[in-house]
């Protein structure tokens, strides 16, 4: 009986030490421009600017790329941008998009692209968002004349960002560069 009284606390201390050492050895911190997503026991956890402990048997860790991606949209000639006044505008625009910097945005972005590794794939991002950004551009242009787009570029850019707010699935437009606009 005395032996049992000594063994049980010793086992508990060993167990606690094992978990503490395991947590320290399996602690991961994201690199700049990245987020970590831990899945498994306890649900999804996102680490942006802090570390996270990963237990190999219970969790899977994925890295998400938070850097901006450039998507170029060109609408010219017959496929030109139809504006409010019925005129077609030839445009070339560069959209810089990035993942929203919060847990919901990161998890939504992963769902949008299919897998955390795909956030690093520029070709996949280009393919996925070029169609959505063309639609946003076409919808927004219908509220502006060609002259207004040329003269009030900042207003047009803000309108594009507002239109895109809920359509990019965890991504957001960080910057828009209008390379050229002509009729």
Tokens linked to 40: 């498994």
Per-residue pLDDT of 71-90, as tens digits, reads 999 988 888 888 888 888 89
Q: How far apart are CA 128 and CA 167, in angstroms?
A: 12
pLDDT at 10: 83
**pLDDT per residue rounded down to tens, the chain (183 residues):** 677 777 888 888 888 888 888 777 778 888 888 898 888 888 888 888 888 888 888 888 888 888 899 999 998 888 888 888 888 889 999 999 998 888 888 898 888 888 888 888 888 888 888 989 999 999 999 998 888 888 888 999 999 998 888 788 888 899 999 888 887
Domains and CATH numbers, the chain: 2-65 (no CATH), 69-182 (3.30.479.30)
> What per-residue confidence (pLDDT) applies to 23?
75
For the chain, the 3-state helix, strand and coil shares in percent, each to the nearest 5, are 45, 30, 25
52-53/171-182 β-pairing:
unpaired
The runs of H, that is alpha helices, within 26-179 are 103-113, 122-141, 146-151, 153-164
Prediction pTM value = 0.78
Q: How far apart are CA 178 and CA 96, in angstroms?
A: 11
Give the pLDDT score at 1: 65
The confidence score (pLDDT) of residue 92 equals: 92
List, for residues 158-179, the tens digit of each pLDDT value.
999 988 887 888 888 999 998 8
Please count the CA atoms within 13 angstroms of the CA of 58 that sit on its side-chain side. Answer: 12
């Amino acid at each position: 009986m005395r032996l049992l009284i000594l063994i049980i606390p010793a086992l508990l201390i060993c167990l606690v030490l094992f978990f503490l050492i395991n947590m320290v050895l399996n602690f991961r911190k994201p690199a700049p421009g990245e987020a970590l997503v831990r899945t498994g026991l306890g649900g999804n956890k996102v680490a942006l600017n802090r570390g996270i402990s990963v237990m190999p048997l219970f969790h899977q860790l994925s890295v998400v790329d938070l850097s901006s991606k450039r998507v170029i949209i060109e609408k010219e000639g017959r496929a030109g941008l139809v504006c409010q006044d019925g005129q077609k505008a030839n445009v070339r625009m560069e959209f810089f998009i990035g993942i929203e910097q919060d847990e919901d945005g990161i998890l939504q972005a992963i769902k949008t692209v299919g897998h955390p590794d795909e956030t690093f794939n520029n070709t996949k991002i280009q393919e996925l968002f070029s169609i959505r950004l063309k639609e946003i551009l076409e919808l927004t242009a219908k509220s502006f004349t060609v002259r207004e787009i040329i003269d009030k570029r900042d207003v047009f850019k803000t309108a594009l960002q507002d239109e895109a707010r809920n359509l990019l699935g965890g991504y957001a437009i960080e910057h828009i560069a209008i390379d050229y606009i002509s009729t």
